[in-house]
Amino acid sequence: MSQAQEWSHAQIERELRSFIAEELYFGADQGTIAGDQPLQETGVIDSMGMLRLVTFIEQTFGIEVLDGEIVPEHFATLGDITLFIERKRAGVS
Amino acid sequence: MTYLLQQLLMRSAVARPDRVAVTCGGEAISYGDLDRQSNQLARTLAEIGVERGERVGIYLNKSIASIVSLFGILKAGAAYVPLDPLAPVSRLAFILRDCGIRCLMTSTGKVAAIHSMMEAGAPLHTLVLVDQSGPTADIVPSPRKGVTWGEVLRADAAVPASAEQSIETDLAYILYTSGSTGEPKGVMISHQAALTFIRWAIGCFGITAHDRISNHAPLQFDLSVFDIFAAMGGGATLCLVPDGISAFPIRLAEFIHQEQITIWYSVPSALIHLIAHGELGRFDFRRLRAVLFAGEVFPVKYLTELRRLIPHARLYNLYGPTETNVCTYYEVGEIPSDRKEPFPIGRACANIEVFALGTGGERIGPGEEGELYVRGPCLMKGYWGRPDKSAEVLAQNPGVKAYADPIYRTGDLVRLDRDGNYTFVGRKDQMIKSRGYRIELGEIEAALYAYPGVQEAAALAVPDEEIGNRIKAVIVPSPERQVGAAAIKRFCAERLPRYMVPETIDFLRALPKTATGKIDRRRLAEMDGCGE
């Protein structure tokens, strides 16, 4: 669970989906959160869920998320978050 | 003379019809249009058969349409009941059944959830679809009726007779709060009770047509009452925080800056979120002249930081249960750097009396602690359909024999300071606050016990600096059953609002008990179970 570990796009998305479904959006089964579903607008992630998600991402993927990076461009959908994590891990962001 | 909440809008619309009343995202509506559209809605509701005193639900995302709905309902002589768009269907169905909601303001995307509520016994017969202009037969199958926004806007826009036929003691709205026995209870607020607070607030904060007031709280949360009605009464602009923005602290900070908010009101945890992650130092909040907060204790550490970041804004700590709305206030002045103890909840607002009684029923003096009571026109009428629950908290003023003089027992323990201010010290019961939401641990426990295979359960509040409390559940499973944390959380989420679902679930073989056989919560809080 660190920078050293390799994560494929699909693996990152799977980890995120299961965390969001089980810890933030208890009601949803994992299949129902689509990759392009707007997570905040549809109430899947609220303000408290957002902070828990950031902590989870930092611990699981070994990256640091800055306050200025907690914006819809990076966190609006499952697809956005996955791309953001990949870019951060590749040291591009 | 203003004695009904809708008159706040009606008076401002006559005085300044072209001023912007409400903004949301890129949209805006003038006072004149808000007044006319709510007249049209009131007439439409009357035609459907909505009667004076009837409860009409608002099941909408935050939007200009939700504010038009609210005033249309009031002008029909009815009471509005805001429904949390994110709450589970079973809870909303309970509320619809509980106060007998037949007509609902909603949007097309919510119709599937509404069908589930009808299957669960919700007595709905008409849906007003605010986003629909075409035929509704496919969306709302008969015998139920669908009304489109196009139909509403074809009604006569003149003030309907019903707009001022109510009296001040009529019900204006019902807000549902957590109930200790497992069912939410509906707090009934009259026009007079709400106006007692609103009139004081408009005067105390000097609200005028130059103000831009934020609305962060959802409609079902009583903080919204200030935002909406104080803004309308002052002829100010109400700026709704669009859904989705609250999760992004920097976007929320940008919202305050770009909308040139002059008065902000929210729970402390929303402000803490902003202070900790919103990079507030980057923004110019020159126009922000007052920050109001209520709902939970504001940790001094963050309040000091807020004072440093926005030095020119006045800071007010407001206090009051939903049952009384805001009844005390305290202005936070300079904060000494070594201050650790939280600020007082202060003194009574206008036309309200607050006092605290000691264990012997005597009024406490300076330096003493007691339970806080509230009396005056701000009190709720009671809990909808629950005279037993109402009688538990609304008592006769001791010493008054000749006439009815109800006082509200808050359940909050306070200390009377030497300068006449009250300071919150704790609760008498199992009610807690998390992110300003009021939560009865008993309601969570009722949900946990409903899960098959749970032999014993306790819900605990774990103090947290940023959100007040986090919720932990401790479960003793039946020996013959497998019980998993994820499944229990999902089960709770189908019954409780998300803020009540336990964040962690621990498993124990038995719960610690006191000598009298009750669950020993103090020992339980100190124990570490097998967490998941």
pLDDT digits over B136-161, tens only? 778 887 778 999 999 999 999 999 99
The identity of residue B154, as a single letter, is R
In a domain, A4, yes or no: no
B interface test, pick of A48, A51, A54 with most B CB neighbours within 10 Å: A48
Cβ pair B248:A71 closer than 8 A: yes
In a domain, A61, yes or no: yes
In a domain, A44, yes or no: yes
In a domain, A17, yes or no: yes
Cβ pair A43:B85 closer than 8 A: yes
pLDDT in tens, A12-45: 999 999 899 888 887 655 457 888 989 988 888 9
- CATH no. of B431-531: 3.30.300.30
Cβ pair A67:B250 closer than 8 A: yes
Q: Find the CB nearest B273 among A40, A47, A68.
A: A47
User: b/e map of B29-65 (b: 16 or more CB within 10 Å)?
Assistant: bbbbbbbbbbbbbbbbbbebebeeebbbbbbbbbbbb
Q: What are phi and psi of B252, to 5 degrees?
A: -65, -40
Q: What are phi and psi of B339, to 5 degrees?
A: -70, 130
Helical axes A47-61 vs A78-89, angle rounded to 10°: 40
- Output Rg (C-alpha) for chain B, integer angstroms: 23
- Output Rg (C-alpha) for chain A, integer angstroms: 12
User: Contacts of residue A45 in chain B, CB cutoff 8 Å?
Assistant: 247
Q: Which domain holds residue A74?
A: 9-89
Helix (H, G, I), strand (E, B) or coil at B195: helix
In a domain, A2, yes or no: no
User: Contacts of residue B244 in chain A, CB cutoff 8 Å?
Assistant: 38, 40-41, 72
A64 part of contact set with chain B, CB < 8 Å: no
pLDDT in tens, B351-392: 999 999 999 999 999 999 999 999 999 999 999 999 999 999
Question: Which positions 492-521 of B are in contact with A (Cβ < 8 Å)?
Answer: 492-494, 498-499, 501
Q: Find the CB nearest A43 among B86, B492, B501.
A: B86
Query: What residue in B sits closest to A51 (Cα-Cα)?
Result: B247
C-alpha–C-alpha distance, residues B414 and B343, integer Å = 12
B246 part of contact set with chain A, CB < 8 Å: yes
B465 part of contact set with chain A, CB < 8 Å: no
Q: Which residues contact B523 (CB under 8 A, 6 or more apart)?
A: B512
Burial class (CB in 10 A: 0-12, 13-18, 19+), B144: middle
Q: Which residues of chain B have pLDDT under 50?
A: 530-532
In a domain, A41, yes or no: yes
Kind of pairing between the strands at B382-383 and B422-427? unpaired
pLDDT tier for residue A93 given thresholds of 50, 70 and 90: low
Q: What is the pLDDT of residue A91?
A: 86
CA angle B325, B467, B86 (to 5 degrees): 70
pLDDT in tens, B65-90: 999 999 999 999 999 999 999 899 99
Q: What is the pLDDT of residue A31?
A: 55
In a domain, A3, yes or no: no
In a domain, A42, yes or no: yes
Count of other CB atoms within 10 angstroms of residue B308: 12
Cβ pair A43:B278 closer than 8 A: no
Task: Quote ipTM for the complex.
Answer: 0.89
A interface test, pick of B252, B469, B471, B490 with most A CB neighbours within 10 Å: B490
We report the CATH number of the domain holding residue A54 as 1.10.1200.10
Q: Where are the domains positioned within chain B?
A: 5-243, 431-531
CB of A44 closer than 8 Å to CB of A24: yes
- CATH no. of B5-243: 3.40.50.12780
The number of domains in chain A is 1
Which one, of B448, B452, B494, lies nearest residue B472 by Cα?
B448
A75 part of contact set with chain B, CB < 8 Å: yes
A73 part of contact set with chain B, CB < 8 Å: no
Which one, of A66, A51, A68, A62, lies nearest residue A86 by Cα?
A62
Q: Find the CB nearest B250 among A38, A47, A71.
A: A71
Mean pLDDT of A43-71: 93
